[in-house]
Structure 1
Amino acid sequence: MKTMMSRRHFLTVSAAGAGAMLVAPRIAFANVATDRRFVFVIQRGAADGLNIVVPYAEPAYATLRGPLAIDASTALKLDGTFALHPSLAQTARLYEAKQALFVHAVATPYRDRSHFDGQNVLETGGSAPYQTHDGWLNRLVALLPASRAQAIAFAPTVPMALRGKVEVASYAPSALPAAPDDLLLRVGQLYEHDAQLGPLWASAMAARGMAGEAGARQDPASVGKLAAGFLAHDDGPRIAMIETGGWDTHSAQNARLSNQLKALDTMLKALAEGLGPVWDKTTVLVATEFGRTAAANGTGGTDHGTGSVAMLMGGAVAGGRVLGDWPGLRTGDLYDGRDLKPTTSLDAVIAGAAGATFGLDPHRTAAALFAGVAGTKPLDGLVSA
């Protein structure tokens, strides 16, 4: 039996073919007052902070890690204690330019080792899994004037951190072939005077234009370029979230982590280059749900741990520093006798960085983003005024 395709369904399919998959109802590109940008990059899978920002001067590090230990002669020295993984060459250059800083031995309040529960706590800002039903990034948007804030997730669906009362958007490259420009022009003319579908089509085309050539690809450089295409526009979003996965390195960690970090480094380089002068007004936070064990396991990897590292990058960041109260890696220093002990609250890092980025009162920001976590004191001095 033949059926007629509805105008709404045709619009959705055509927009996807044009390289724009708008999972949220629409992207409304309104003018915004703030010229600052904040990007949250989540590392799903528990990234190994000990091999990202390497405590090469810690005597117990090489003993615990064995063949997984990063050779200090190949690592990118930050100071007399810490070095970056050699795959993070661009990030090292940002550090030298004082546009990157690292906070070591950080963790959310979560102390068990389930990815799903840990990611829920990280994204909601609660003190326990599923205690809070919206995300801290959505609550950050709500702190800004309603008509002056936008947020977008570069993911097929809106991640938990961005879910909540404030409407946000998500964008992901389409797997469908690109539609010819002539077809797009004709569809635009068809819906030009339609009160409902006309604005939706216009939003889809605006998103397609911002995505540019990067909109059809998902390699790390294209993802960074895609995000920059949206964020660099005067009428584009000011808050964004990028999802990265594959950080669960139970086996063959050396090769896998090297590839993961190289991809992250490539994406951040493309983001910085794509933003151009806007990079000077940008803060990028990279964080994971928890860290990995201090000692290597028997399969050339590490298991689920606790403390990890948070990274802040951008022209707005007061960088060139490694922060945190280093706990040490001797047996008595480890959390539960196996993990890097967390000494700094990741919530405090988030509240301090996000609040300072937008010129918000830091304590009000902490209270709004992490209301369920008693006594969250924002870490100050992370972002330049």
Structure 2
Amino acid sequence: MPQKNNSRFGTEPPYHHGQGGGVAVLYCNLGTPDSPSPKDVRRYLAEFLSDPRVVEIPRLLWWCILHGIILRFRPRASARKYASIWTDQGSPLALWTRQQAQALQQRLRGAGKQVTVLHAMRYGQDSIAQQLDVLKAQGIQRVLVLPAYPQYSGTTTASVFDAVYSWAHRIRSLPEMRFVNRYHDHPAYIAALAASIRKRWALSGRPDRLLMSFHGVPLRTLQLGDPYHCECHKTARLLAQALGLKKDEWGVSFQSRLGRAQWLQPYTEPTLVQWAQTGVRKVHVVCPGFTADCLETLEEIAMEARHAFLDAGGTEFHYLPCLNDEDQWIDALADIAALHLQGWPLDGADTSDPAALESRSLALAMGAPD
């Protein structure tokens, strides 16, 4: 008769000698509602905005604001915005993130690395805990956590790590874990951005000015030591150099402000309005901090920001899509993952099995490639 588990730790899945002690990459993005309905958007916003990494004000006060005001009115308006970008396959963010993970696995395996890649979402379905459970059930013993956020922020990257730690808190036999904090200045990431932009310019010509719009965070996070602001500016500077842009041919801004507090500036929409009013006629906007198109790029930039620029006197506005499933971006992801996978057995050998470990050690001692 099976023993009842009365501890806070879960029961481990059965282990059989000889099963793969494999390596996996967990590719993590923000998340999305299940549908553009107000009910599903409300559920998603409740989880997202309840994260203390996202909103750093006293919990009781924020709980009253969130449940007494925001979740009463915001879901319906947000649902209309989600509906404007929803596809037959569902959420663009979910679609692109899933495709990126699949392509990354193909690229790594094509290079001889026997690595499983799963996508996960910080909020909503395919959660980090759900996907880690899947990997554990498969016998995976080493996991690289790779956020889809090139620039580190406590509001995003650290929140992903929190979710991993929370999952680990209830696991009896933990896999080895590694975490990728940032890749905002990785040469392959910058090269992929530049190549994607040049491809768009080949179709629509160069703009008078390129605006690099990053997701905003409260100014207070910068003052408390969050490196996000600096890393955004470094990405922008490296990208401008790669494109050969002069100082007056590009700018940086921050979007998606929430609430009345001061956020990182300059803000995206006012910047575009100011440019139009001072004679800039043709603008392109790219969002380097987003690796997959989503509500913030497809609705906030490609629709709302476009209208603001044209209404202010601009004559031509082009939103340049995110990297999505661009081949050069998948190559860059593979480079970033491979850098952090170094030292782990990637040939499919089960290093948890003493016989396999002895055989592997003997092969290495005789000069066989790792």
Common fold by TM > 0.5: no
TM-score, normalised to structure 1's length? 0.28
Kindly indicate whether structure 1 or structure 2 has the higher relative contact order, using CA contacts under 8 Å at least 6 residues apart.
Answer: 1
Structure with a larger share of its residues in helix: 2
Q: TM-score, normalised by structure 2?
A: 0.29
